[in-house]
Amino acid sequence: MKVLQTPVDIASLARLILNPDCRSIAILTGAGVSVASGIPDFRSPGGMYATLRPELLTATPQQRKWMAMDPTYVVSWDVFQSNAFPYLEVRRPFILGTQQQTWKATIAHRFAELLHAKTSKLTRVYTQNIDGLDRQCTAIPCDRIVSVHGSIAQVACEGCGADMDLEEFCQKVRTNIKDIYEPSNGPAESTPIQCSKCGQALVKPKTVLFGRNLPKEFFERSGEDMPNLDLLIVAGTSLVVSPANSLVYQVPESTIRVVVNAEPVGEELGVDYESGPAGRDFFAQGDCDSVFLDLIQELGWLDDLKAQNDLLPPKSQKLLAGTT
C-alpha cells in the first residue's frame, strides 16, 4: 500500500505532486483564486449584496422589501420565477464582462492547467465560482471542470432547460435589460428575454439560484473522484458553503489535504492544522496567486507560466515579473 508524505512546506508539496505514487489530484476553489483578476466581489463589504439598491430594480414593492431585508433574494428562485429583471439587471455588467473576457484567469487558475498539461494527474477542478475563469484555461478538458454553483459563461432557460448561445443572449441583455449602474449604457426600461423553445422569460446564465438544486454533475463526479483521491488542494475558500465543503471529509483518511488561504479554514470539518507531518493536512498560508507562483517555481514550471504572461490579469503579471 502506498504511503504519501504530508508536506511541511512548498518544496515538499512540489515533491508530493511529482511523486509517481501520487496519481489523482483534485482542486476545490473559491473566490480567493479570482481575486487577482479584479472580478467583482459579491459577499464582502462593498460587494454586490452590501451595496444593493432595490429601489433601482424593476420589481414589485413586495419584492423590493424582500431584497432590502435580504439582498440574496435578488438571485433567488422565489423572485426570478415571477420576475427575471432583478437578477438580470444586477448581473448585467458581470454577464457582459464575462463575454468580453474583461477578467482573466489568474496564476492560481493557470496552476491547474499546468498540473494537467505537465502531469496528467488533475482528476477534477471543483469551483464554487460562477465567473467562468477556469474555462479560459483551454488545456483543461471541459469534463475536468465542475462548476458547483453554475457559470455565468453558459446560458439556458430556467423553465424548460433549453440552451441559448452566449453571444445571442448577451446581445439581448444589451438591448433588453437596463443598466442600473450606468443608465446611459442600456434601454430606459427592461423588457423580457424569452426562450425560443418554450416562450417563457426565464432565460439566464447557468448559475444556481437560491432555492434551486446544485447540478447533478457535482454529486456524480464527487462520488466517483473522492474515494480514489491522493491529494485534495483547497484554495481560496472559507469552506462554509455546503455541500461543496463536504469534499474535505468525503475523501479517504489516506488522502492528503492542502489548504491555500489567507487564514485557517475548515477546522470544524476536521481539518487539523496542529498535527504537522504526523497528520495529513498542510496549511499553505498566503494569497492564492503568491502561493501557487511559489509552487510553480518549485515544480520547475515557471517558464511555462511566463509563456502565458499575456493571458494573465495585470496583478498576476506584476507578481510574475518579480520572479527570476
262 touches 239 (CB < 8 A): no
The conformation of residue 268, written as its DSSP 8-state character, comes to G
Residue 251 bridge partners (DSSP): none
Backbone angles phi, psi at 177, to 5 degrees: -115, 125
* Residue length of the chain: 324
Residue 1's H or E segment, with its range, is none
Cα within 13 Å of Cα(178), Cβ side: 13
Rounded CA-CA distance 322/324 in Å is 7
144 touches 122 (CB < 8 A): yes
User: Which member of 15, 23, 118, 149 is catalytic?
Assistant: 149
Burial per residue of 190-226, b for 16 or more beta-carbon CB atoms within 10 angstroms, e otherwise: bebbbbeeeebbbbbbbbbbeeeebbeebeebbeebb
What cell numbers appear for 109 in the block? Answer: 487558475
Rounded CA-CA distance 26/21 in Å is 15
109 is catalytic: no
DSSP string, 278-305: GSSEEEEES-HHHHHHHHHHHHT-HHHH
- At 56 the three-state DSSP class reads helix
In degrees, to the nearest 5, what angle opens at C-alpha 65 toward C-alphas 61 and 68? Answer: 135
Residues classed as catalytic: 149
